[in-house]
Amino acid sequence: GIQVEQSPPDLILQEGANSTLRCNFSDSVNNLQWFHQNPWGQLINLFYIPSGTKQNGRLSATTVATERYSLLYISSSQTTDSGVYFCAGRGEYGNKLVFGAGTILRVKS
Amino acid sequence: DAGVIQSPRHEVTEMGQEVTLRCKPISGHNSLFWYRQTMMRGLELLIYFNNNVPIDDSGMPEDRFSAKMPNASFSTLKIQPSEPRDSAVYFCASTSRTGGTDTQYFGPGTRLTVL
């Protein structure tokens, strides 16, 4: 099956700073998604982004499918952005989403 | 819509007892997934259903685990007998695979502690 690698594994930001999270895939994927798990454990879908760029407020994501990676940008970070960010994708011939290990983000005020 | 609903939210039980976790997917979604999350192994897919039919249960750790989906609005994950190593957060997620997108929506999870 495909392997999903996320970087960095953890990140500490001062409120207001920007950050870029990366997700690399070992093989071609479709159905690429980004999730945020808040400190209370709730998993929220941020983006469904198999290719191209999408923006939602201070967050945006870009997937370059031909190069097997995706980036999540967080601008003007806030303490409420803290938590774990996961990316996940489905292999070209797979049936299920495979999740990365996540990036732990802590935003300090 | 209320989103994906899971119950109970917390469960504490003793080793050897039967545990049943419940999930109600989002109305109209035709795929349902059970995940387990632990610090050591991260998020793991246990099993998923399409149109109430189990498609891939290769993630189910052993015969002590079973899952059913008797209708489009209800699924259960059962552990019998439970063991301390089953302690984890169990998530249910649903999606609609029509229309070309496959965005998964997660429930709040059930935190299981087996003593």
Residue A69's contacts (CB-CB under 8 Å, 6 or more residues apart) are: A22, A23, A24, A25, A63
Give the tens place of pLDDT for each residue, A92-102: 777 788 999 99
How far apart, in whole angstroms, are the C-alpha atoms of residue A72 and residue A79?
A: 17
> What confidence score (pLDDT) does residue B100 get?
60
Torsion angles phi and psi, residue A42, rounded to 5: -75, 130
Say whether B84 sits in a helix, a strand or coil: helix
How far apart, in whole angstroms, are the C-alpha atoms of residue B65 and residue A47?
A: 32
Choose the closest CB to A33 out of B56, B104, B111: B104
> What confidence score (pLDDT) does residue B1 get?
66
Q: What tokens does B33 get?
A: 């997934």
Q: Which chain A residue is nearest to residue B111, measuring alpha carbons?
A: A41
> What confidence score (pLDDT) does residue A91 get?
81
In percent, the amount of chain A with pLDDT more than 90 equals: 85
CA B109 to chain A, closest CA, distance in angstroms equals 8
> What confidence score (pLDDT) does residue A92 get?
76
Give the tens place of pLDDT for each residue, B37-52: 998 889 999 999 999 9
B45 contacts A45? CB cut-off 8 A: no
Residue A29 has pLDDT above 80, yes or no: yes
Q: Does B10 touch chain A (CB under 8 A)?
A: no
Give the tens place of pLDDT for each residue, A51-102: 999 999 999 999 999 999 999 999 999 999 999 999 999 887 777 889 999 9
Reply yes or no: is the peptide bond before residue B61 cis, omega within 30 of 0: no
> What confidence score (pLDDT) does residue B71 get?
95
Q: Which of B92, B76, B83, B67 is nearest to B13 (CA)?
A: B83
Mean pLDDT of chain B: 93
Give me the mean pLDDT over the A2-19 stretch: 96
Residue B99 has pLDDT above 80, yes or no: no
Which one is predicted more confidently, B61 or A77? A77
Residue A1 has pLDDT above 90, yes or no: no
